[in-house]
Amino acid sequence: MPSEEISGWRAEFFAPVASFRDPLFPGLSHGLPLPPPSTVRGLLAAATGQVSEPCPVGIAAWAEGSGVDAETYHPIAADGSNPAVSGKVKAIKGGMTIRDRPFLTDVHLTVWLPGPEGARIAQALRRPRWPLRLGRSQDLVHPLTVRPSTLRSTEQAVVGHALAPPDGHEAPEAMVYRMASGISPDRLHTRWADYLWCEVPLGRAAVREAYQDEEGQAVWLLTG
């Protein structure tokens, strides 16, 4: 890969509790082990106040723990016989169910924001337009640091918990996850992509089409 250098920003976030339901398992309480790119883009859009933020971003994420709790669901009947009133669904016989909800604890998220668009988003993160959430509406996320970062093209870097395209590296510890890369503003269309991610942080390894920051961390700039 030709030598290339990109100026940008590195933003770090922390969420005490978060959950990311896997929509590929309808009707089941199956959670993802990290926030999908679409969720990260929603976080950035909340900061800027824009409808969406489709610019390229680098993502690394991991959680210190996980668990399962029970939640009460009130499904809406297909025939509309139990419409929502004042934000609550009218109770009907058999209309309430309890399901397990997987959740993550102490979630760490790092986002790399390249170029002028990255500078714009980094500025917005210092004074977000809307509350920042990671996943569900009650899962608030805390911005920790926003600082300049320089990305340099590389063929070897510390993979860590970075999110990579399927051909980004060949570390055997990594698994392929199919996740939403972006969602249309009307929420009617979802774009899907495969990503490599490893629960155990990986050290230096051969990488493809990647950059590294000043700490030697591998970064793949993912498009939405």
Q: At what angle do helices 115-125 and 37-48 cross, to 10 degrees?
A: 70
- The Cα–Cα gap between 27 and 29 comes to 7
Amino acid found at 75: P
Query: Quick check: helix, strand or coil at residue 73?
Result: strand
Rounded distance, CA 200 to CA 107, Å?
14
Please answer whether residues 135 and 16 qualify as being in contact, where contact means their C-beta atoms are separated by less than 8 angstroms: no
Q: What is the CA radius of gyration of the chain?
A: 19
Which token pair is 153?
Answer: 């093209």
Contact 201, 161 (CB under 8 A): yes
CATH class of the domain comprising 5-66+104-219: alpha beta
DSSP code, position 198: -
Rounded Cα distance, 218 and 215, in Å: 9
Instruction: Report yes or no: 202 and 174 within 8 Å, Cβ to Cβ.
Output: yes
DSSP alpha helices (H): ranges in 78-224? 115-125
From first to last of the 224 residues of the chain, give the pLDDT tens digit.
456 999 999 999 999 999 998 876 665 567 899 999 999 999 999 999 999 999 999 999 999 999 888 777 666 666 666 566 555 555 555 556 777 788 999 999 999 999 999 999 999 999 999 999 998 888 889 999 999 999 999 999 999 999 999 999 999 999 999 999 998 888 788 899 999 999 999 999 999 999 999 999 999 999 97
Tokens of 165: 């395209």
**Overall pTM surpassing 0.85 (yes/no):** yes
Domains of the chain by residue range: 5-66+104-219
